[in-house]
Structure 1
Amino acid sequence: MNDQMVRGRRQSIHFLALFILGAILAGVAELPYGGWIQIPILSAIWWWLNRENQNSVKHLFASGLIFGLGYFVIGLWWIYISLHDVGGMNAALSCMAVFLLSAYMALYFGLATLPLTLFHKTRYVGFFLASSWVVMEYLRGYIFTGFPWMGLAESQVNGPFAVIAPYFGGLACTFLLVFISWQILQLKKDTLASTSSLILVIALTVLSSLWSFTKPIGDPIRVELIQGNFAQSMIFKPEGILKQIEFYFAAMSKSKAELIIAPETAFPWPESNLPSGTLETLQNHVDQQGNNLLFGVIGRHVNPKMGREFSNRALGLSPSNPPYLYDKNHLVPFGEFIPPGFRWFVNAFSVPLSDFARGGEDQENFLIQRPNQEPIFAAITICYEDVFGGELASRIRNSSTPTNILINLTNLAWFGESQASSQQLRLSQLRSLETGLPALRATNTGITSVLDSNGKVLTSLPEFTQASLITQVQAYTGKTPYVRWGDLPILSLSCILLIWGLIRYRRF
């Protein structure tokens, strides 16, 4: 066997190992202690990437890309369900769509690993690698409207770095996860420096857990979260739409809770065309009972510039107040708006897709009235919006009213029996950690749940059951450092470290 064949075989083993490690990294995120388990797996990945320090930039980028491909193909496979099982798209085209999206996401992983080649001669490569990862994750959540799903940060809701989130957000958790996994790899090579780094980070996380920036306000509020468990295919048929509307209408009308929440598009029909008297009856109910309703509906939101007439809306009703309207701001590409030039892709579906208008960035919080107590205010997100921690922090920071609780309305029926619901639950947990606020998640098929101000799941409903979650939740007041500053501190630190690294690289 000649040298070229040997090198080719070694390279194939190298790429295969990275693909498998990427897939394992995605898989363990679903485990209760996945945030801890990911640390040694990342250390193994860095070893495979760095085992030949003289690798070219091109080879290292390809290695990071393969690792990312394994990670995202496993983490995002549920998109196939929405395209093929629900949308009726050809199986081959559905697989190709998942592969291409995963490959695009993996590009950022490939770019994030480049410091291993550029800075491998310095002992500070761990700082540069972590900084590069933070910058790439930020860009992944921003470019082309962003898709930061399956970041390393959300695994840390069950990991050691969750306590950092209230200070500097999920990206800071990512920084520490990458940095520590590198230092573990370097323990044998540079024992003193790596051990000192580990001790310093442990001390930092312990100290961070000593402070809290939000505090309880008022008495706990009685809530009911309604989970209808309607298949997505039902809303493509008039009889299915009517059945769903009737269920949620009946459930909300008989509830005695102070706050009643139904999920995204609980009424999957334009509010102006709902059965006669639907909204009037619900308003009379809250006026008589003194409770508050929040539910999803198709809203009328004319956008003359884009020619879009409807919106994905959360409609709130409370006693003696005009209806509260929140129109989803961060829309899902292809699911809620069609990017220019991709009409052909949407035409491959056998179901109609929406092209919604976008709500404003400065929409106010939902006022929840309470007899003989001061009102509380809720920041509303609809489904995909709780992926974007920086946007939620900005809304809370700039709101003219305080924010005491987070509410997310979601419908994940598109994705069947997959890990999509548990992934989004972790994202909601991260949002609670970052803001120091409890959260209510009302979903159609799951996971309907209540989170405390530390992101812990207090109670939840089983998936794919038709039921209501009736409980109490304690509202909080105050702002965490992350709400006040957003991603600016960790991004600034990361950029400064990378600039310093490039200056050193050019000098030497």
Structure 2
Amino acid sequence: MIFFNKNCDQWFRLCLAWIVGAIGALSFSPYDYWLALLISFSGLQCLTLNCATRQASIIGFMWGFGFFGTGMYWLCISIDAFSELPAIINLFAMVMLTGYLALYPLIFISLLNTLCTKSLFLRLIVASPVIWHIIEFFRSFVMTGFPWLQFGYTQINGPLKGIAPLMGEEAITFLLVTISGSVVYSIEKRQILAIVFVILLVLLQWPLHSMNWFVSLPERAVDVALVQGNTLPLLKWDPNDLVNILNTYTRLSNPLIGKKSIIIWPESAIPDTEKNQQLFLQDQDQKLRIAGTTLVTGIIDSRFENNNYYTYNTILVIGNGSNPYRYLSNNRYQKNHLVPFGEYVPFKALLQSLTAFFKIPMSMFTQGAYIQPQLRVAGYNMTPALCYEVIFTRKMRDNFRPETDFLLAISNDAWFGDSNGPWQHLQMARMRALELGRPLLYSTNNGVTTIINARGEITHIIPQFESRVLTATVVPTTGLTPYARFGNFGIWVITLLFAVIWLIGFLRLSVCNSTVYHKIS
């Protein structure tokens, strides 16, 4: 190995692993230095070569601690500002979450060291992307999943973005791991063949950038307004705060009624239960229907059914055509992917007493259905997502329909202050628009509020931390991208193919080694 030898101090390796992992965070928004990801992951591969499995696994853990710890430091803001817990407990919670996420690189390196010890080519270029893809798949659904900072998102402005509408973000991640392995292989073997392969790979997919997988429908263009109230999240149900928030959103929206076809408020813009706000909603609905404007808003729906209370984080549509608003109407969306410890307590029986002891404020939301109908908004069909649901590529694709006109994502990123969190969130939302070939209306409480076209490009944006309204004329699209048609089928076929190549190579090496052993004997 060029950079490190067997006598290299383990503590130096661990510190270097943390630094190399932290470098990877620079590839995500708002920095967008996508090459930093290749440097970071290549560094992990280099550091774990010629190491015992136990040593390599610890290095993988430290790399993950640096990568997730720096990339998701914004969680400290949310925990510290809104949990009302002592600083030491907040720090402990952040360390525990980062440690949990760092387990995935640890498992990746452990498997790599166990299964691929005899061939550098098989280890770096064949097995690495297969194992990483499987590991990331598990990360995307364990405890409802948390697939934040997946590698493919770094390419939303990069040279590999053309692959997204073809096979999705996961395919880009697979390719980035393959490229990282090829770089390390070239360095280790002191040959440029693998680098040439990487260059050819990038060039061959370049024509994908100019391909149109969708058709714009300018004759169906619609005027929309996204209202950014810039109000703080409510920790307690204070009637005065509630009145002020409702006044903010109605004050910003009233001049638009009758002038814009669609007005969109963010997640929990009405910070009260839908049942409590019947008079407000009915009054708004009547005013909107008379003027020909439709309102989409976030609200909490707490209802009593089957002798139990069910509380849903909800997107509600009112003022929609000639049908008056009524409670329990079907034109709504209920959040499916709930935030662990924020919207529900995983392992409730085990952890409920612990959260009560530390006085951790918990919301016990009910999970909505995985597949839900499209929202019908002023004659348009929208595939919705609430908050961080937009990062779940499979869920968005499974709820997408050929008749979808727009994607809709509403969120309240005020929890994350002036940090990288909202920008990373936006980066992932842009990938959904690119994958599915539909414009995305992205409304947040205090920014980033944007409109994204079907190529994943930001066309309209307003400043963060201001009470503003984003107005624009948006053109819907039609047609299905290959990813919209087939989902992740293509990347799993490639994963299986690489796994077969690794197995054949492994068996051949085993046979050769066995033959040599018998000859020597």
Aligned runs of 1:281-292 on 2, under 5 Å? 281-292=283-294
Is 2:161–2:209's contact at 8 Å kept on the other side of the alignment?
A: no
Aligned to 1:459: 460
Out of 320, 326, 344, the residue aligned to residue 337 of structure 1 is 344
1:213 aligns with 213
Please name the residue that 1:280 is paired with: 282
Match of 2:185 in 1: 186
Q: Does 1:110 align with 2:106?
A: yes
Residue identity opposite 1:68 in structure 2: G
- Aligned partners of 1:37, 1:27: CA distance in 2, in Å? 6
Among 60, 83, 90, which residue is 1:87 paired with? 83
Name the SS for the 1:463 alignment partner: coil
The structure-2 alpha-carbon separation of the partners of 1:207 and 1:124, relative to structure 1 and needing over 3 Å to count, comes to farther
**1:480 and 2:481 aligned:** yes
Name 2:333's counterpart in structure 1. 326
Cα separation, 2, equivalents of 1:296 and 1:488: 33
Match of 1:266 in 2: 269
Alignment of 1:412-431 (within 5 A): 412-431=413-432
Give the share of equivalent positions with the same residue, in percent.
28
CA shift in 2, pair 1:503/1:59, >3 Å: farther
d(CA) in 1 for partners of 2:395, 2:296: 22
How far apart are residue 450 of structure 1 and its match?
A: 0.8
2:295 partner amino acid = L
1:78-130 CA distance string (max 9 Å, x none): 22222222111121111111111111111111222342563253323312111
The one of 106, 118, 121 aligned to 1:121: 118
Partner in structure 2 of residue 438 of structure 1? 439
Distance 1:98 1:388, change over 3 A: same
Q: For 1:479, what is the secondary structure of its paired residue?
A: coil
CA 1:285–1:345: 2 relative to 1, 3 Å? farther
Distance, in Å, in 1 between the alignment partners of 2:397 and 2:42 is 32
Q: Is the CA contact (8 Å cut-off) linking 1:163 and 1:209 kept in structure 2?
A: yes
User: Once the two structures are superposed, what CA deviation does each residue of 1:301-351 show, in whole Å capped at 9, x if it has no partner?
Assistant: 55649x442210111121113552111111111111122122235336667
Residues 491 and 345 (structure 1), Cα distance of their counterparts in 2 relative to 1, 3 Å cut: farther
Give CA-to-partner distance per residue, 1:36-61, whole Å, 9 cap, x none: 332233323322222x2xx2222222
Please list, as runs of the form range in 1=range in 2, the aligned pairs for 1:320-399 lying within 5 A after superposition. 320-321=322-323, 323=325, 324-339=331-346, 340=348, 341-347=350-356, 352-369=361-378, 375-396=379-400, 399=401
CA positional deviation for 1:7: 7.5
1:203 corresponds to: 203
Q: Structure 2 CA distance, aligned partners of 1:83 and 1:103?
A: 16
Q: Could you state the TM-score of these two structures normalised by the residue count of structure 1?
A: 0.90
Measure, in 2, the Cα distance between the counterparts of 1:174 and 1:90. Answer: 38
Aligned amino acid, residue 377 of structure 1: N
Deviations 1:129-174, CA, capped at 9 Å, x for gaps: 1121111111100112111011112111122211111111111110
Q: How does 1:17-28 map to 2 (within 5 A)?
A: 17-28=16-27
Deviates more, 1:484-493 or 1:463-472: 484-493
Displacement of 1:27: 3.1
What's the CA shift for 1:352? 4.3
How has the CA–CA distance of structure 1 residues 496 and 342 changed in structure 2, closer, same or farther, with 3 Å as cutoff?
Answer: farther
Q: What does residue range 148-187 of structure 1 map to in structure 2 within 5 Å? A: 148-187=147-186
| Range 247-256 or range 405-414, more displaced | 247-256
Q: 1:214, CA displacement in angstroms? A: 1.2
Could you say what secondary structure the match of 2:459 adopts?
Answer: strand
SS at match of 1:277: helix
> Does 177-186 or 435-444 show the bigger shift?
177-186
Q: Give the Cα separation in 2 of the matches to 1:7 and 1:313.
A: 56
Greater CA deviation, 355-364 or 434-443?
355-364
8 Å CA contact 1:135–1:495 kept in 2: the answer is no
**Hey, what does 2:295 align to over in structure 1?**
293
Counterpart CA distance in 1 for 2:186 and 2:304 is: 60
For structure 2, the 5+ residue unaligned runs are 326-330, 511-521
Cα distance in 1 for partners of 2:238, 2:112 equals: 53
Q: Deviations over 1:271-313 (max 9, x none)?
A: 1102x631122212221221221001111355649x4422101
One-letter amino acid of the structure 2 residue matched with residue 112 of structure 1: F
Count the aligned residue pairs.
490
Shift of the 109–378 alpha-carbon distance from structure 1 to 2, 3 Å rule, reads same
**Contact 1:34/1:158 (CA < 8 Å) preserved in 2?**
no
> Taking structure 1 as reference, are residues 423 and 295 closer, same or farther at Cα in structure 2, changes over 3 Å only?
same
Say if 2:263 and 2:296, in contact at 8 Å, map to a contact too.
yes
Measure the CA separation in 1 of the matches of 2:178 and 2:380. Answer: 40
Give 2:59's aligned residue: 63
- C-alpha spacing 1:236/1:301, structure 2 compared with 1 (3 Å): closer
2:498 aligned residue: 497
1:4-15 alignment to 2 at 5 Å?
10-15=9-14
Supply the distance in 1 between the matched residues of 2:388 and 2:46 (Cα, whole angstroms): 35
**What SS does structure 1 have at the residue aligned with 2:186?**
coil
Q: Distance in 1 between matches of 2:392 and 2:90?
A: 26
Corresponding residue number in structure 2 for 1:239: 240
Residues 1:94 and 1:8: Cα distance change in structure 2 (over 3 Å): farther
Q: Measure, in 2, the Cα distance between the counterparts of 1:461 and 1:242.
A: 25
- The amino acid across from 1:184 in the alignment is V
The residue type equivalent to 2:289 in the other structure is: D
